[in-house]
Structure 1
Amino acid sequence: MSTLHQLREGLNEAWDTLVDGWQRLYRRAAGAITRFTPGKKAREDEKGAGQEIAVRSAGWGVLAAEVFDDDDQIVVRLEAPGLEKSDFDLEVLDNYLVVRGEKQIERERTEGRYHVTECAYGRFERAIPLPDEVDSSKARANYKSGVLRIELPKAVSRRRRTITVDVH
């Protein structure tokens, strides 16, 4: 086997490993990446300044979430700082918790030719897969310190039961 052939095989293996790693990273992170679009308030702004800020800050952002599954319920924690309780719309569709909301535009002052906007503003929607069937009519949610916590009781038929078996 020639050195060139060995080098080619080594590069192919390295490339395959890199592609596999990117695919695994994409599968793990794809759910957290959320599209922000200009919100209602920006569209209604008569002066146009809010629209300009909204268009510049619209894009992709991360709403990190954790899903905990225990015997009786599923708990979802979603980091969503800068919102109010009334900014959220929650819905269970199929086996997904759909969280919608809108971050309002806050005007910032501009000095000279510079204007810095560090937050994404606008409407967002995130569908979080649920690991089991839930009873959405008994769901509870609370929002505190930038974290939305949703408790979804499992459907009665899906709750884990412990049984004992006597061995003779």
Structure 2
Amino acid sequence: MAKPSDEREVKIYRVERSFQGYLDRALGEEKVREPLVDIYETKERVRIEVELPGVKRDEIEAYVIKDKVFVRGYKREEFYLEVGEEKRKFICLEREFGEYYREIEMPVPCNTAQGRARLEDGVLVIEFPKVEDRRGQRRDIKIE
């Protein structure tokens, strides 16, 4: 699906993603989930926020290759039929478990060697300082 560019497209995009998840579960198809991402920039940095609810810090891998950020995570199933002496009967079980994966293209040139990430309330926040893109600019070469 294309990246949404206006408010109406964002709403349609969210509805389609929501229905796709229900359809996959109804058909019993196990797939890698694509987490929701917000990307924005300030004058000095690019910030990427990846929604990973319930995924533990040690189950997340984030890395950069060239101008792409890769995020992979795994949310383990945490429901049990028996806890100690107590037996459980599930009435509703809607939470999703399994693998998450997302490739994110950097919108502007960044210093990826100085990238930092932290997990805040189920959101992986990744920040990179921006750098000036000098490709395509004229640079004189000193002739010796």
TM-score (norm 1): 0.54
- Aligned mate of 2:112, from 115, 136, 145: 136
| Counterpart residue type for residue 96 of structure 2 | A
Say whether the 8 Å CA contact 1:57–1:120 is kept in structure 2: no
Partner of 1:27: 2
Task: Report the Cα distance in structure 2 between the residues aligned to 1:70 and 1:86, rounded to whole angstroms.
Answer: 29
- Aligned mate of 1:123, from 99, 111, 127: 99
SS of equivalent residue, structure 1 residue 86: helix
Partner of 2:68: 96
Deviations 1:72-108 (A, max 9, x none): 2110011111012222111112222110111112133
The answer to whether structure 1 residue 153 and structure 2 residue 125 are counterparts is no
Distance 1:67 1:150, change over 3 A: same
Say whether the 8 Å CA contact 2:32–2:98 is kept in structure 1: no
Map of 1:42-81 to 2, 5 A cutoff?
Answer: 58-59=30-31, 61=33, 63-81=35-53
* Structure 1 unaligned regions, length at least 5: 1-25, 34-55, 160-168
State the shift of 1:60 in Å.
Answer: 5.9
Task: Report the Cα distance in structure 2 between the residues aligned to 1:81 and 1:123, rounded to whole angstroms.
Answer: 12
Structure with greater helix share of residues:
1
> Which contiguous aligned blocks of 4+ residues in structure 1 show a shift greater than 4 angstroms?
none
Give the percent of matched residue pairs that are identical in Structure 1 and Structure 2.
23
Cα RMSD, aligned residues only: 2.8
SS of equivalent residue, structure 1 residue 123: strand
* Greater mean deviation of Cα atoms: 102-111 or 140-149: 102-111
Partner of 1:107: 79
SS of equivalent residue, structure 2 residue 2: helix
SS of equivalent residue, structure 2 residue 74: strand
Partner of 1:21: none
State the shift of 1:58 in Å.
Answer: 2.6
- The structure that has the greater radius of gyration is 1
TM-score (norm 2): 0.62
